Structure 1
Amino acid sequence: MAWKLFDNDLQSLPENVFGGLTSLQILYLSRNQITTLPANVFDGLTSLTELYLDNNDITTIDQGAFSAFASSLSTLLIFGNELKNYKDSTFENLININELHSDHRRICCLVYKIEVCEPRVTLAACKEILKGKFRELMCPMDSTRSTDDFTTVAPDF
């Protein structure tokens, strides 16, 4: 079962808004105006395998936002957002994810054994990113961006 809620001008998602939808497998929330993913926002979505959050205005992902489907999620699209506030463990707990598309190289480094992760990043670069040595943690969308166009995300270890 899939829900297509893209292009609906959604600005927020209250906690437990999807409660009871245990058979939902695919959720499209692309191209809305969502700014924050609160803890427990996806509670009840225990069978979710694909989540599309791309092209919103998300700046904050509270710890626990993805906990309901941490073991079932295989695909996550989260690019086209302005992520600034999240804990590393938010992504580290996605143990069965196979495909992840983000603007942040750091997020790709946090997910283990992933088959497809954009932007691509080498193991050596991940080691430096996770040590906090790179200022440029956001993948530039084109070659015209300067280093001032990058977002710095502080490590939480």
Structure 2
Amino acid sequence: MKVLFVCMGNICRSPTAEAVLRKYAQDAQLDSRITIDSAGTGDWHAGKGPDQRACQAAARRGYDLSALRARQVIAEDFQRFDLILAMDYDNLKRLEALRPADSNGELDLFLRRYKLGSDAVPDPYYGGEDGFEQVLDLIERGAAGLLDEIRGRQ
């Protein structure tokens, strides 16, 4: 299974989700069967590493974002990935507009898919440290649901 997480700039939420799911997959010994990536709908940060606050919050929980680099979603992603998960409604709308008519990938809102009470992962970029912790809490819960879904598809 190939999963793509998408947020606005690919420096906070989607790289965090990529790292969390990667660790969960490794711990479950499913990493050889899952391709995980992240991207942004915008290109402002292309080629740059994740936000340092996201890296620090993730590191405190044992996730490593240091090797990740931001990139923008491209049309081929809709063919390459089985599941494309947006972090919020705005990015879901942008992805729907970018999605080619012949796309193979399933497109959904990350948290809504797993009925976790909140549909969107809020953008912590303009807030404080606690916003990054909240993002991690939500992403960890969503990643657990996604891992269960992946196990069910085997």
Global fold match (TM > 0.5): no
User: Bigger relative contact order, structure 1 or 2, given CA contacts below 8 A and separation 6+?
Assistant: 2
Report which of the two structures shows the higher radius of gyration computed on alpha carbons. Answer: 1
Which structure has greater helix proportion? Answer: 2
TM-score (norm. length: structure 2): 0.25
TM-score (norm 1): 0.25
